[in-house]
Chain A
Amino acid sequence: MNILKRPSAISLLYVIILFELSAFVLIGFMVQPFDYMALVVGGVMVFLLLVQYIMLTRFFPNLDRYILITANVLAAIGVIMQYRVNPDLAYKQLIWLAVGMALMVCVLIFVTKFKVWKKFLYPLIILSAVLLVSSLIFGKTINGAKNWFRIGIFSLQPSEFVKIIFVLVLALLLEDPKTQFKKFIIMCFYSAFCIAILVLQKDLGAALLYAGTFLVMYFVASGNVLVSLGFVGVGAGGAVVAYNLFDHVRARVEIWQDPWAQYNGKGYQIVQGLIAMASGGLFGVGLGLGTPKAVPVYYSDYIFAIVCEEFGILIGIAIMCFYLVFIIRGSLIAVNSENKFYALVAFGCTTLITLQSFIILGGVIKLIPLTGVTMPFMSYGGSSMMASMILMGVLEAIAIQNGNRRLAKLAEVESHVN
C-alpha cells in the first residue's frame, strides 16, 4: 500500500500566524502610542488556531486538516476586521470562536460515536418544526426578519441551528432506496413546511438556503433529473408568487436592479458596499485607512465589503477561493463516504455552506438580490459561528470515519502479508 506521509501543514500554519500577528500589530498602531489589547487578541487567535490544530490532528489523524485551516483563516480575517472597527466586537467574537470550537469538537466526537440515527427520525422532525414555529411565534424582529430569540444578553437565531437537523432528516429520508414513496411525501411536506415558516418570518435568505439544500440533496440522492427540474420549477414559481405577493420581495428585486435610485432608502446598503469595494481597488486602501462604518451591517452580512475596501479585491477573490476549497473538500468527504446516509449528511452540510456563501457573496457584489444571510466563519455573531462550527464538526466526523475505514481496509490487506 502506498501509504504516504501527508505533506506537512506546519509551514502553512506559520504563515497564517505571521499574517494574523502582523495584522494585529498594524491595528495596534492605530491608537497612540500602541494598543496592546490588539496583540492580546492576536495572540488568542493564534493560540486557538494552534490548540485546535495540534489537539485534533493528534487525536484524529484522519481529520481533514484543510477544512479546519480554511475555516480558521476565514475566521481570522473576520476577527481582524472586527477588531479594527470595534474591539468589543472582537472580544465577543473570540468568545464565540472558542465556544464554537469546543462545540465543534463535541459534535465531532458525538457523530463518530452515535450510530442509531434512524431511530431519531421523527423526534428530529418534531424538534426542528417546534424550533422554527416557536421562533415564528415568540421571535423578535431584527433587521426585518423575525427569527431571533433573546436569552439574557445573547441573541440566537434558531433557523441557524435547525439547518443541521434539516440536513439530517433529509439524509435519513433519502438514504433508503426502498419505501421510496412514503418517505418522499414526508420529505416534501417537511421541507415545504420549513420553507413556508421561514418565508412567513420574512427570513428569505434562510428560506432560499433550505430550499436549495433540499433540491441539491434530492438530486444527488435520487439522480432523478425530471423530478429535480420539477422542484426547480416549483421553486421558480414560488419565487414569482412571492414577488407578486410580497412587497418586500419586490423591493429587494428593485434595489438589486438599481440601488442608486433608492439610495436614500433601501438601496443605501448596497451602494455603500459597492463603493467600499470599488475604493479598495486591487490591493485595498490599507488596513485602518478605510471607512467601514459607512457600510450598514459591516460586521456580519457586509463584512466582505469592508474587507475588500481595506485589503483589496485580490484578497476578496482569495476569500471566495477559500470558500471554494472548503466546499470542494467537503464534497470530497461526501464522495468518499461509506454509506449513503453519511455521504448525504456530508454533502448536505457542504451544500449549506456553499449556498450560504454564494448567496451572501452574490448579494454583496450585486450579482443576485441581497438576502440576509451571514458569511460562514467570518461574520460576527454567535448563532452564525456556532452553526458553521457544528457543520464543520459533522464534516470532520465523517472524514475521520472515512479515514478509519480506509485504514481498516488497508490493515486487512496488510494482514495478508504478515
Chain B
Amino acid sequence: MSTKKIKKEKIEKTGEDQNKRMRLNMKIMIFTVVAAFLYMMGYFSYTIMSNSSKWLSSVYNNKIAVAKNSITPGDILDRNGTVLATTKNGDRVYSGNLETRLANSHTVGDGSGAVASGAETLFSMELLGLDDNNSISIITQIRANENKRGNDVALTIDSKLNQYIYDAMGNNKGAVVLMNYKTGEVYSLVSKPGFDGNDIAQYLTDDTDPGNSELVNRATLGRYPPGSIFKIITTSAALRYLADAETKTFNCTGSVIIGGVKVSDYDGEKHGTIALAEALTHSCNSFFGLISQDIGSSNMLATAERFKFNTSFDFSDFVMAKSSYVQSDQAGDLAWSAIGQYKDTVSPLHMAMIVSAVANDGVMMEPKLFLKSTDASGQVQKSMKSNTYATIMERQEAFKLKTMMYDVVTAGTGKAAAISGYKIGGKTGTAEVTSNSTTKAHAWFVAFIGDTNHPLAIAVILENAGTGGSKSAPIAKKAFQKALDLGY
C-alpha cells in the first residue's frame, strides 16, 4: 500500500477515535442531564409537598381575595375593643381619626393587599370566618359563608398606646415595639411614617421610592445596623466563652487599633481601665472591640445565631426580615461586628424579642399580635396561646446581663430612661450608617422593666436622629410611663 493510503487510513482512524471520544462525551452529558432532571423532580416534589400547608394558608393565597367578594370580613379591634377597621357598605374603612389611623396602620394593615403584613392580610382567614385546619376544603367553606359575616379579630395592641408613641416620635422616622416579655403579646408596634388606610392609593404611584415609603413596616421588615445595642450579644458571648469575662480588664484610651483598623469611642471618650460591666454601662467600643478578639469570630457567630440572627422567622402573626451576622476572620471586621457595625443588621421587633428574652431569664417568647376572634354572635372562636420560641441563654447569664443593664440606666448612657420606683434595664445604641459625617447615626434604645407585674420590654429606633441615649431613651421612658398608666 502506498504512503498516501496509509496516511488516509491513519486520518480516518483518528477520525474514528475522535468520533468515539465524542460519543463518549455525549454519553457523559446524557448521564449528567438525566441526573440533573431527576434531582429537579425530587426537589420539586419535596419542596411542594413539605411547604404546601404553609404556603396555602399564607396570606398571599388568591382564594382569600376571591372570598372577600362574597363574605363580609369582620372588624379589627384593639385589645380594649376599640374598632380599628370595619366594613361599611362593602368598603373597608378605618378609624375616623387620622392620627389613630396613621399610628395603627402597620398593625392593622391594608385590606387591598398593599402591605405584606398587618392584621388585614395575616388574619384574613379568620376575618372571613375560614378555618384552614378544618378538613372541609376552603372552597367549600367560602361557599358556605357566602353573604355572611366573618369573625371580629381583636389584636394585642393598645391603640391609645400606639397613638401616644407615634406622637412622641415627633418628626423622626423609625419604629417602636413594646411587648410583654412573659406572654409575647405585642402591646404596641409603631412604624413611622405610617399610612392612611382610608386613602391608600396616594402611596401607590409609580415614582414612590419603595425603600422609604410609608408602606414599609420598619418595625418588622426594617434591617438596621444595631450599633452598640449589639453589645448585649457580645456580652453574652464573653460570659459564655471566656472564663474571666467578668474580671478581665482593658485600658480604654478613647481609641484602639485592631487588625490595622481604628476602633474609636464616641467623641473619643476615654474610659480608663475597666471590666465588662462598666464597659456595657458606658458602652465602651474599645473594650468590646478588644474582647471580641479573645472571644473569636466563630464563637461570636455561634452566639449571634443563638440569639436567632441568620434565622428565617416563621411566625403566624408577623412577617419579619431575617437579621444577619456575618462572620469575618479579619480582626478589624470582627471588632466592628462586635459593636454592631460591619455587616450586622437587625429588625426592631427582633431586638424587642432579644431584650425580652434577657428580661425573661433567657426565654424568648414568640411575638403575638392576635389576641382573640369572636363570631357575629359574640362567641369566642380562637384565643391567643403564648408560645416559647427559643431559650437563648441560661438563667445565670440572663441574670448577669440584667444586672449590667440596670446599671446602664442608673449610672450609664441610658439615664434618660429612668423611671422612679421601677428597675429599668436598658442599652443605648448609636449606629453609624455611613462614613459620611453629615449623615447622622440611627438612635437605638432597648429596655425592659424588671418587675414581673409589669413585664414590659421595648425597642426604639429613630432613623438618623443622633445618639440613642439622648434621643431614643426619652421615648422609651415615655412609652413605659404611658403603658404603666394604662395598666400594663
List residues of chain A with CB under 8 Å of any chain B CB.
Answer: 177, 216, 219-221, 223, 258, 260-261, 263-265, 271-272, 274-275, 277-279, 281, 289, 291, 294, 313, 316-317, 320-321, 323-324, 327-328, 331, 334-335, 340, 343-344, 347, 351, 354, 358, 361-362, 365-367
Chain B hits for A321, CB < 8 A: 41
Which residue in chain A gives the minimum CB-CB distance to B115? A264
Secondary structure at the B interface, as helix, strand, loop or mixed, is helix
CB distance from A66 to the nearest CB of B (A): 16
- B280 at the A interface (CB under 8 A): no
Chain A hits for B37, CB < 8 A: 320, 323-324, 327, 358
Binary A-proximity of B335-372 (CB < 8 A = 1, otherwise 0):
00000000000000000000000000000000000000
CA distance A181 to B482 in the complex (A): 80
Indicate if the CB atoms of A291 and B66 lie closer than 8 Å: yes
Indicate if the CB atoms of A223 and B210 lie closer than 8 Å: no
A331-B29 in contact given A223-B22, A343-B19, A358-B36 (Cβ < 8 Å)? yes
Which residue in chain B gives the minimum CB-CB distance to A364? B44
Interface bracket on B: 35 or more
Sample 15 A-B pairs with CB under 8 A, ordered by A number: A220-B25, A221-B22, A264-B114, A278-B56, A291-B66, A294-B62, A321-B41, A327-B33, A328-B30, A331-B26, A331-B33, A340-B15, A347-B29, A358-B37, A365-B40
Indicate if the CB atoms of A335 and B55 lie closer than 8 Å: no
Which residue in chain A gives the minimum CB-CB distance to B21? A223
A223-B48 in contact given A264-B114, A294-B62 (Cβ < 8 Å)? no
CA distance A327 to B40 in the complex (A): 15
CA distance A324 to B32 in the complex (A): 12
Indicate if the CB atoms of A281 and B19 lie closer than 8 Å: no
List residues of chain B with CB under 8 Å of any chain A CB.
Answer: 14-15, 18-19, 21-27, 29-30, 33-34, 36-37, 40-41, 43-45, 47-49, 51-52, 55-56, 58, 60-63, 66, 113-116, 139, 210, 221, 312, 319, 321-322
Indicate if the CB atoms of B43 and A367 lie closer than 8 Å: yes
Indicate if the CB atoms of A275 and B27 lie closer than 8 Å: no
Secondary structure at the A interface, as helix, strand, loop or mixed, is helix
CA distance A289 to B139 in the complex (A): 10
Q: B60 is contacted by which of A177, A219, A271, A365 (Cβ under 8 Å)?
A: A271
Q: A362 is contacted by which of B21, B40, B56 (Cβ under 8 Å)?
A: B40
CB distance from A165 to the nearest CB of B (A): 22
Which residue in chain B gives the minimum CB-CB distance to A304? B44
CA distance A340 to B18 in the complex (A): 9
A320-B25 in contact given A278-B52, A327-B33, A328-B30 (Cβ < 8 Å)? no
CB distance from A147 to the nearest CB of B (A): 24
Which residue in chain A gives the minimum CB-CB distance to B204? A264
Indicate if the CB atoms of A361 and B40 lie closer than 8 Å: yes
Chain B hits for A354, CB < 8 A: 33
Indicate if the CB atoms of A177 and B15 lie closer than 8 Å: yes
Chain B hits for A361, CB < 8 A: 40, 44
Chain B hits for A323, CB < 8 A: 37
Chain A hits for B210, CB < 8 A: 265
Which residue in chain A gives the minimum CB-CB distance to B58? A275
Chain B hits for A294, CB < 8 A: 62
Indicate if the CB atoms of B62 and A275 lie closer than 8 Å: yes
Indicate if the CB atoms of A220 and B40 lie closer than 8 Å: no
A274-B55 in contact given A223-B22, A264-B116, A335-B23 (Cβ < 8 Å)? yes
A320-B41 in contact given A265-B210, A331-B30 (Cβ < 8 Å)? yes
